[in-house]
Amino acid sequence: MKKILFPLVALSLGALGLSAPAHAQRGDATPTTLIAKPGEKTVGDADGAFTSLFKFNEPTGEAMYKRVCAGCHMPDAKGAKAAGMYPALAANKNLATAGYPLYIVLHGKNGMPPVGKMMTDQQVADVVNYVRTNFGNKYKDKVTAADAKATR
């Protein structure tokens, strides 16, 4: 069994190494575009999620929340308790101080990754302002892109 398994694995890995990227298989020598302007889709980006490999493309705080935050905090922002704890953002008193959610989005906390690193300063401000003025939150003092930049 071992005598057969080793050559099979070696052949598989060799074939994998010889496979060409999609642009080479199509016959054109130009790789797909990975950078786009905000709001513009890139080639190979199925739904326009990113402007580059590590930057989100959402133009509004609401769109950013739906794309990035709702997966854990839920679409209604009520959070979840499953394999981990995903805190509710709805009617959350911790959001009263604008700097708190700003810091968490940019630097993360416990199980939450620092997703703000993949956002522009304006996108960070927009998503924080969206959460602080929706889902039963009525905090009117706005966070600005300058605040996000200073918090980075």
Report the distance separating Cα 129 and Cα 131, nearest Å: 6
**17 — pLDDT class (breaks 50, 70, 90):** low
d(CA 136, CA 62): 15
| Token output for 51 | 């402007």
What integer pLDDT is reported at residue 63 of this predicted model? Answer: 95
How is the chain split into domains, by residue range? 14-57, 58-152
3-state SS class at 55: strand
Top mean pLDDT of 31-40, 43-52, 115-124 is at 115-124
Q: What pLDDT is attached to residue 52?
A: 64
Summarised one tens digit per residue, pLDDT across range 97-132 is 999 999 999 999 998 999 999 999 999 999 999 999
Q: Which amino acid is at 85?
A: M
- C-alpha closest to that of 50 among 62, 71, 33: 33
Give the contacts of 12 (CB within 8 A, at least 6 positions apart): none
User: What percent of the chain has a predicted confidence (pLDDT) above 70?
Assistant: 64
Could you write out the DSSP letters of every residue in 26-37?
HT--PPPP----
pLDDT category at 45 given cuts 50, 70, 90 is very low
Band the pLDDT of 47: cuts 50, 70, 90: low
What angle do the packed helices 99-107 and 121-132 form, to 10 degrees?
Answer: 130
Dump pLDDT digits (tens) for 50-74.
556 678 888 999 999 999 999 999 9
Q: Torsion over CA of 41, 122, 84 and 89, rounded to 10 degrees?
A: -120
pLDDT band at 16 (very low <50, low <70, confident <90, very high): low
Identify the CA nearest to 89 among candidates 54, 132, 59, 25: 132
| The CATH fold of domain 58-152 | Cytochrome Bc1 Complex; Chain D, domain 2 (1.10.760)
Query: Of 108 and 8, which is predicted with more confidence?
Result: 108
